[in-house]
Structure formats: structure tokens, C-alpha cells
Amino acid sequence: MPKSTQYQSRQSDENGVIHWSDEENQIWSELYERQIPLVKERACQEYLDGLDLLKLNEKKIPQLPDINKVLMEKTGWQTAEVPALINFGEFFRLLANKQFPVATFIRSREEFDYLQEPDIFHEVFGHCPLLTNPAFAHFTHTYGKLGLAASKEDRVYLARLYWFTVEFGLVRAKGGLKIYGGGILSSPGETIYALDSDEPLRNPLTAVDALRTPYRIDIMQPLYYILPEFDHLFELAEMDIMALVEEAKSLGLFSPLFPPKEKKAS
């Protein structure tokens, strides 16, 4: 996540409603229209089921209280309005309390295709559908509780596990490989690249491997990890993940599959 941002989250009124501008709603509508045909072919069924349950507005940015009603009924989760950037501690605290952080801003037209910060399209379209699913909700809650209690060093390891599951995970399904990672599902380019390109590696997921794998947030991923089935997230949540963090630390990180980030000229 970048250390600074040009964006500022919108504040809701006393009823939890955010009064988005016509332009902001138009950007949502165009993002939705572009992405929906892709995810219907490429997303896992659990995500598509959640999308049906949420009934997201195609033309306007959804209001979080409407999403909360569905999440609370299905898994006991809620969304939480947050600033454009939050620290690891606050992120884990929210997840540990079954609150999914949603930065209440939407990307500008200049960053329509890609932005590093997670905006409301990424959080709501990419992640919220799967929060209706018990396996995904349980894994995310467990992850939050572990992260809240973890040291600063261990949180960096945990972040890799989150990256390669919740953000950029693939899963084996009846129709072949499908996508469940919200970082992919909110990106048209990566939704195609993740399944069709010959460039990235696609390896079976083991938690220790994911904990040891460096990543970069500003490139197409050179590696994706594949769940054997969606409900494997239940098993993953019940593992002694902090013991696996210690194992990953003793083994050391894998060599990065990407070049170092170029430093900007001062």
C-alpha cells in the first residue's frame, strides 16, 4: 500500500448515507459495466452467489448500510468507513471485529484503469460479495485476530498470506481455474491475465510458501497460488498459522520473481 494518497474519503451523514457526485456515480457505473461480463465468466461461483445476494447498484455507488444488512444476515460481518489509507494495526483491529474496511472514495478518471490505493470499487465489488460466504468470512476473521496479536515483523509475513489469498487468489472449480481474489476481480486487465496469460506461474497453495513469497503491488502478478477448493479456506483458518510464520522465518524468503522497483529521480 502506498504511504501517501491524493484521495480523501467521503463522510456519511447521520443515516450512514454518502452523497456522491454525479461524476463519482458515473465512474462507478463505467467500472461496473466494464468488469461485470468478465467476472461472470471468470470468478468462482461463491463470488457470483455473493454478487447476487448484494444486488449492487449498477448505476450508483452502493450505500454501505444496504451492504451491511446482507452481510450481517449471512455471516455477521459489517463494513466500516475508513480514510483512504489506514495502518496495519487498524486494519487488523477491524477484521478481528468482523468489520471490513472500505475507503469511501472512488478513483479519478486519470487512474481509471489502475490505482494503488484500494477504493470503494475495489472493496465493495472486489471483496464484499465473498464476505457473504462462511468460509471466506471465517478465514478473514481469523486472519484479523492473528494480525491484531502479532508483532510488527510477523504482520509482514501475514500480509503475504492475505495478498496471495484474499487479494490475488485462484481456486480450482468444476469449470477449471477460477478467481476469488478481490485484487484481480476489480481489475479488468488482471482478470484476463490471471487465467489466460502464459507469463505467470500458477502453483498449488501452501501457507508456508505464500508466507515466504515477496510481492509487488504495482505490477501484474508473476505468481498466483491456487486453492484446491473454496472451502479449503476453512482448513487454512484452523491451521496454526503463527507456527507456520515461524517456519517461514526460519526458511527465509524466496527470491523475488520481479525486478526491484525503480527509484524516482529526486
Edge-to-edge strand ranges of the sheet holding 170-173: 176-179, 170-173, 223-227, 201-204
Q: Which of 9, 127, 141, 190 is catalytic?
A: 127
Q: Which of 9, 123, 141, 186 is catalytic?
A: 186
Q: Which of 24, 46, 122, 187 is catalytic?
A: 122
Query: Is-catalytic flag, 167?
Result: yes
Q: Is 138 annotated as a binding residue?
A: no
Q: Is 122 annotated as a binding residue?
A: yes
Q: Is 127 annotated as a binding residue?
A: yes
Those residues whose C-beta lies under 8 Å from the C-beta of residue 229, and which sit 6 or more positions away, are 171, 172, 173
Question: Dihedrals φ, ψ of 119, to 5°?
Answer: -95, -175
DSSP 93-117: HHHHTTEEEEE-----GGGSS--SS
Helix (H) or strand (E) holding 79: strand 78-82
Query: Is-catalytic flag, 238?
Result: no
Tell me which residue of 43, 30, 2 sits closest to 192, measured CA to CA: 43
Q: Which of 24, 117, 123, 167 is catalytic?
A: 167
CA atoms within 13 A on the CB side of 128: 33
Query: Is-catalytic flag, 19?
Result: no
Query: Is-catalytic flag, 4?
Result: no
Please enumerate, by residue number, every residue annotated as part of a binding site for Fe cation.
Answer: 122, 127, 167
| Active site residue ranges | 122, 127, 167, 186
Please enumerate, by residue number, every residue annotated as part of a binding site.
Answer: 122, 127, 167
